[in-house]
Chains A and B, each alone.
Chain A
């Protein structure tokens, strides 16, 4: 399955996914409250050290940051010309810290572990009428369907390229959409044929109150 996770067994990899996500959420909020250049430089050094500890290849990190880095040049220039360069430096450093922290979490945490955290977060929502088992069922379906749909999209792109229609958005989208709609009925029938019940009965021994 496609994923950005870089396998490893370092201490950064072994921190539970829930803790990493909590640090990321608190950290990203703190970045906007405490924002000055020396603090950001210190944070950058700490994060760089963590990247070393996690033994992440530079290639993966850079690939995730590339577009953001391109984006930071105009942000910096904007501040140089219109406000002052110190504010520009502070802003760019803050975004860089934020992104590096996020990339660190993304590259060292398995998607399945993050999904477990997500399931735990969603569970209390059942009191609001959200069915957690349906949420995880749908998430697993999306993960299953993505490679399938990407293959379909790739085939359509190649077929339309052969006809010289690969610059025509409707010629690409319409066949993909028709395939999607045709697939939906077959898929829902085969899911139910395998005994999936969208409204499962809760067994007596699991009922509470």
Chain B
């Protein structure tokens, strides 16, 4: 890993943290507020690829765990990781990796639509597959009920995947960082 790679990994971890500055959005027909921060997960995967993207989010989660208030609403510390929604935060590491893995595989055939699909697979499905069972265990809920409670966030997450795909396509055309 070159110095430049390390800088990119660190910058995207910081970028994800900086997204906490942007206030949550309220979109029409979307019941829950949309938190901008996990777009950072999709962007890290789509722009840096699997290894660097995953590593970037790993650094971010480590810093949250050791007590930096980097999550939207200035939250941080082990409490967030171990609490009911901790699975959603931890899932960001494999989520960025999965997005990046697909992006690297399909780099030469990448367009808005398949990038959107990869962002949904990594940034939405992976996040829910890890986050929902975690919620069910910590809150003593049935899996189905935890799933039902989380569905209100799905429309917002799909909007985020669309934004991330649009932004990452611009970056791919103007400043590609993945050499397959």
Chain A: residues with CB nearer than 8 A to chain B? 2-5, 24, 28, 32, 63-65, 67-68, 71, 74-75, 78-79, 82-83, 87, 90-91, 95, 98-100, 102-103, 105-107, 109, 111, 114-115, 118, 134, 137-139, 141-143, 145-146, 148-150, 152-154, 157, 166-167, 169-170, 172-174, 176-177, 180-181, 183-185, 187-188, 191-192, 196, 198
Chain B: residues with CB nearer than 8 A to chain A? 1-4, 6-15, 17-23, 25, 36, 39, 43, 47, 55, 59-60, 62-63, 66-70, 73-79, 81-85, 137-141, 145, 149, 160, 163, 166-167, 170-171, 175, 177
CB-defined A-B contacts under 8 Å, sample of 5: A24-B78, A118-B66, A138-B6, A172-B36, A184-B8
The one of B47, B60, B79 that contacts A142, using a Cβ cutoff of 8 Å: B60
Please tell me if the beta carbons of A114 and B66 are within 8 angstroms of each other in the complex.
Answer: yes
Please tell me if the beta carbons of B17 and A149 are within 8 angstroms of each other in the complex.
Answer: yes
Please tell me if the beta carbons of A2 and B4 are within 8 angstroms of each other in the complex.
Answer: no
Please tell me if the beta carbons of B78 and A102 are within 8 angstroms of each other in the complex.
Answer: yes
Closest Cβ of chain B to A24, distance in Å, is 6
- Chain B residue with Cβ nearest A65: B79
Compute the total of residue contacts between A and B using a CB distance below 8 Å: 185
Known: A75-B141, A138-B59, A174-B170. A98 touches B83 (CB 8 A): yes
The one of B6, B11, B67 that contacts A137, using a Cβ cutoff of 8 Å: B6
Per the bound structure, the CA–CA distance linking A25 and B137 in Å amounts to: 17
Per the bound structure, the CA–CA distance linking A82 and B83 in Å amounts to: 22
Question: Inside 8 A of A169's CB, which chain B residues have their CB?
Answer: 22, 25, 36, 39, 160, 163
Per the bound structure, the CA–CA distance linking A2 and B7 in Å amounts to: 21
Closest Cβ of chain B to A29, distance in Å, is 10
Question: Inside 8 A of B25's CB, which chain A residues have their CB?
Answer: 167, 169
Please tell me if the beta carbons of B4 and A103 are within 8 angstroms of each other in the complex.
Answer: no
Question: Inside 8 A of B11's CB, which chain A residues have their CB?
Answer: 145, 149, 180, 183-184, 187
Question: Inside 8 A of B149's CB, which chain A residues have their CB?
Answer: 74
Please tell me if the beta carbons of B7 and A181 are within 8 angstroms of each other in the complex.
Answer: no
The one of B77, B139, B145, B177 that contacts A64, using a Cβ cutoff of 8 Å: B77
The one of B14, B78, B163 that contacts A149, using a Cβ cutoff of 8 Å: B14
Please tell me if the beta carbons of B82 and A111 are within 8 angstroms of each other in the complex.
Answer: no
Question: Inside 8 A of A139's CB, which chain B residues have their CB?
Answer: 59, 62-63
